[in-house]
Amino acid sequence: MEFEGKCIIFSAPSGAGKTTIVQHLLAVNNEIEFSISATSRNMRSHEIDGKDYLFLSAEEFKNHINENKFVEWEEVYSDNYYGTLKSEMERIWKEGKHVIFDVDVMGGIKLKSIFGDKAFSVFVQAPSVEELENRLINRGTEDPESLERRVGKAKFEMQFASEFDYILVNDVLEIAEKEVELVVQSFLQQTK
């Protein structure tokens, strides 16, 4: 029987902890592999090109759009694009693994609409907007203007939580990690 790859989609407002949860799942489940998103935003000091993201210039990103190389893409902020390359998904499925995505909220909704029952979408949220803001402040990557923009965007994105298959409240990280391990494993074991 040919391998039927599935997709696990994680989306969240900035600071909710989705990347930490995705990294945990990758460490405990060898059936899944991370889909490296492409982005045109600037690389942060701790990030590695080709591992955390595929960093492209805005012009390169737009060329990829015109060449239909993306499954989905989104202009999240002005000239800050994020997207999922078709070639990245094909690479993972050829390895006989399921794809796990760490994408923005609109990208998550798009991916779920594209893959339907082959996809399981998880919306990660902090217990409150105040906690989310504290996490962003403690992360130390935001200036006051970008912090205000991200909190405003988070409030908007939280309105879309119900469009996901599962809402994971990340209050205590260890509890959220165990909870998501179970729901993801349950999805992977389903046959369609």
Choice between 50 and 4, residue whose per-residue pLDDT is larger: 50
Asked if the model's pLDDT at residue 35 lies above 50, the reply is: yes
128: left (phi over 0), alpha (psi -120 to 50) or beta: beta
Report the alpha-carbon distance of residue 130 to residue 152 in Å, rounded. Answer: 12
d(CA 192, CA 189) in angstroms, rounded, equals: 10
The number of helices, as runs of H, and strands, as runs of E, in the chain is 7, 9
Delineate the domains of the chain, giving CATH numbers in brackets. Answer: 7-183 (3.40.50.300)
Least confident of 3-17, 127-141, 178-192: 127-141
User: Which tens digit of pLDDT belongs to each residue from 57-86?
Assistant: 999 999 999 999 999 898 877 889 999 999
Give the pLDDT mean for 21-42: 95
- Given a cut of 50, is residue 143 above it in pLDDT? yes
- d(CA 128, CA 107) in angstroms, rounded, equals 22
Give residue 1's pLDDT: 36
